[in-house]
Structure 1
Amino acid sequence: MSRTAPDDRATAPRRQHLPLRPLWLCRVCASPWPCPVARLTLFQEYAHDRVALSVYLCSVLHEAAGDLYRLNPHDGPDPAALFTRFLGWARPRDTR
C-alpha cells in the first residue's frame, strides 16, 4: 500500500456493537453485552436522558435474564452479576 492510498478502514462503515441473542454476547467483539463500546454508545445516545437509559437497560436485563435462564435452567444466571453487567455501570456517580 502506498503512502497516498486511502486507508480502507477509514471508508468502511463501523459495525454496531449489538447483542447476539439468546447468548447476549456482542456481535462484533464477542464480549458479554453490553460490551465497553456498547456502553459508550449508550451513554452518548442517552446523554440527556439518564432515566430513559435506566429504563431501557432494565427492559434489556429482563429479556436477557429470561433468555439466559432458558439456555441453562439448572444453573441460571446470577441475579447480582446480571444487575452489575446491565445496570451497575450506568448508575450516576456521587459527585460530592
Structure 2
Amino acid sequence: MPPTVLEDHAAAPRRPHLPLRPLWLCRVCAAPWPCPVARLALRQEYAHDRIALSIYLCTVLHDAAADLYRLNPHDGPDPKALYTRFLAWATPRGDPP
C-alpha cells in the first residue's frame, strides 16, 4: 500500500526554528524570533533549568539589540518590545519565587 500524505509528513525531518541574523527572523516561518515554535522548543529544552533559559535569552536579547540597532540606528529597537519578545514569555508563572 502506498504511504499516505500524513505518513510522509510525519517521516520528514523537522527543521529547527532558528534565528536568521542580523534580522532576527525565524529561518523556517519568517516570524520574529523566537517564534511560537522556537519558544515551545526552548521551553522543552530547558524544562529542568529555567535559570539557564533566562541566561540564554538574555544573551540572545543582547545580541539581537546590537544587530537590530546596527541595521536601523535612527529608530533603534524598542527596549520594552525586545524584553517582551525575548524574555517576558519565559518568566515562570505560578512558580514559587
**Does the pair score TM above 0.5?**
yes
Q: Once the 2 structures are TM-superposed, how far is the Cα of residue 95 of structure 1 from its aligned partner?
A: 5.3
TM score, norm. by length of structure 1 = 0.92
For 1:18 and 1:43, how far apart are their aligned partners in 2?
14
* Residue segments in structure 2 that go unaligned for 5+ positions in a row: none
Corresponding residue of 2:2: 5
RMSD of aligned C-alpha atoms? 1.3
The amino acid that maps onto 1:42 is L
* Residue segments in structure 1 that go unaligned for 5+ positions in a row: none
Number of equivalenced pairs: 93
Corresponding residue of 1:39: 39
Corresponding residue of 2:81: 81
Corresponding residue of 2:62: 62
Secondary structure (helix, strand or coil) at the match of 2:23 reads coil
Q: Once the 2 structures are TM-superposed, how far is the Cα of residue 14 of structure 1 from its aligned partner?
A: 0.3
Corresponding residue of 1:21: 21
For 1:45 and 1:38, how far apart are their aligned partners in 2?
10
Cα shift readout 1:42-74 (whole Å, capped 9, x = no counterpart): 000000000000000000000000000000000
Greater than 3 Å deviation, 4+ residue runs: none
The amino acid that maps onto 1:59 is T
